[in-house]
């Protein structure tokens, strides 16, 4: 499938992925993050059950301590 | 547009400030100078000496509640502003009530957990309200890595999104101030486009 990840086109060798699977596949490591799919925020508790489909627009951002 | 017109437009709006530390105190003073009508400032903490390396407070305010001291400082800058103090620890349950009626909410916490909690709560429980968040501002130098990224109409993120504050990479006045003012600048931009 092909998705837009942070406005950049990315291809995955799967037909669909859960949010957790995508995080593992991309080796995204930081613990605190926000994930939005097609403009909808996915709460942390739903990363395992939320599926990313072909052509979805995914935004991911990391939250670093400090302020 | 002249500053008097900008100020008069901004006076119609109410902005929430979630946290009155380095980001919140600097962002609030910038918004007060610009003429934002009402600030809702939420924090539960007291000022400590170690905060003065970046937070908009003074030595004679050490020991005071940050909300009270920030209200005092903001009034010294702009006596015409309304300041609503919410002296409490923010959580998933009280955020919608604390910031009800706010046009924009500034995420100004220190810890990444709290940042995540606030963004999740506002985005899921307060639809349509824009959050201007901050992530990645520790250390010094690296001016060119700091930016503001628009995720969509309801979420903006300011900072480098990579530097994590720790003992050997402390948050300091210049970079915290840059990001706090970037947040204020984003808030003003959003409000100037609102009727």
Q: Which two tokens stand for residue B49?
A: 């000496």
User: Hey, of B21, B28, B151, which one would you mutate to test binding to chain A, going by the most A CBs within 10 A of its CB?
Assistant: B151
CB-CB neighbors (< 8 A) of A8 in chain B: none
Q: What is the pLDDT of residue A27?
A: 85
CB-CB neighbors (< 8 A) of A67 in chain B: 19, 21-24, 108-110, 115, 134, 137, 165, 171, 176
Restricting to B residues 145-164, those with a Cβ less than 8 Å away from any Cβ of A are 149, 151-152, 155, 157, 159, 161-164
CB-CB neighbors (< 8 A) of A65 in chain B: 110-112, 138, 164-166
Residue B159: is its pLDDT beyond 90? yes
In tens, the pLDDT along B56-101 reads 999 999 999 999 999 999 999 999 999 999 999 999 999 999 999 9
- Delimit the domains of chain A by residue range: 2-62
Specify the CATH number of the domain A2-62: 3.10.20.30
CATH number for B163: 3.40.50.720
In tens, the pLDDT along B96-113 reads 999 999 999 999 999 999
Q: What is the pLDDT of residue A31?
A: 82
* Host domain of residue B70: 3-192
What's the structural domain count of chain B?
A: 1
Kindly indicate the confidence band of residue B152, based on its pLDDT and cuts at 50, 70 and 90.
Answer: very high
Q: CA B81 from chain center: how many Å?
A: 16
Inter-chain contact B116–A62, Cβ cutoff 8 Å?
no
Q: What distance in Å separates the CA atoms of residue B13 and residue B127, rounded to the nearest whole number? A: 18
ipTM of this predicted complex?
Answer: 0.91
Restricting to B residues 12-31, those with a Cβ less than 8 Å away from any Cβ of A are 19, 21-24
CB contacts < 8 A (A, B): 83
């Amino acid at each position: 499938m092909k998705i837009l990840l942070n406005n950049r086109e990315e291809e995955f060798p799967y037909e669909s992925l859960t949010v957790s699977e995508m995080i593992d596949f991309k080796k995204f490591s930081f613990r605190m993050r926000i994930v939005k799919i097609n403009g909808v925020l996915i709460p942390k508790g739903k990363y395992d059950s939320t599926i990313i489909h072909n052509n979805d627009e995914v935004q991911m951002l990391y939250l670093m301590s400090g302020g | 547009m002249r500053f008097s017109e900008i100020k008069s437009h901004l006076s119609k709006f109410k902005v929430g400030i979630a946290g009155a530390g380095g980001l919140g105190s600097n962002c609030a003073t910038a918004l007060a100078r610009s003429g934002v009508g009402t600030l809702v400032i939420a924090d539960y903490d007291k000022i400590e000496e170690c905060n003065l390396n970046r937070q908009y407070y003074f030595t004679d305010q050490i020991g005071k509640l940050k909300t009270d001291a920030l209200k005092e400082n903001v009034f010294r800058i702009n006596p015409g502003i309304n300041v609503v103090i919410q002296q409490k620890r923010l959580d998933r349950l009280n955020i919608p009530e604390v910031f009800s009626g706010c046009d924009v909410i500034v995420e100004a916490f220190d810890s990444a957990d709290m940042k995540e909690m606030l963004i999740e709560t506002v985005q899921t429980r307060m639809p349509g309200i824009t959050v201007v968040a901050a992530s990645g501002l520790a250390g010094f130098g690296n001016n060119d890595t700091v930016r503001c990224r628009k995720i969509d109409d309801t979420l903006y993120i300011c900072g480098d999104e990579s530097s994590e504050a720790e003992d050997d990479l402390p948050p300091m006045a210049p970079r915290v101030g840059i990001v706090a003012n970037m947040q204020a600048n984003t808030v003003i931009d959003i409000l100037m486009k609102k009727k």
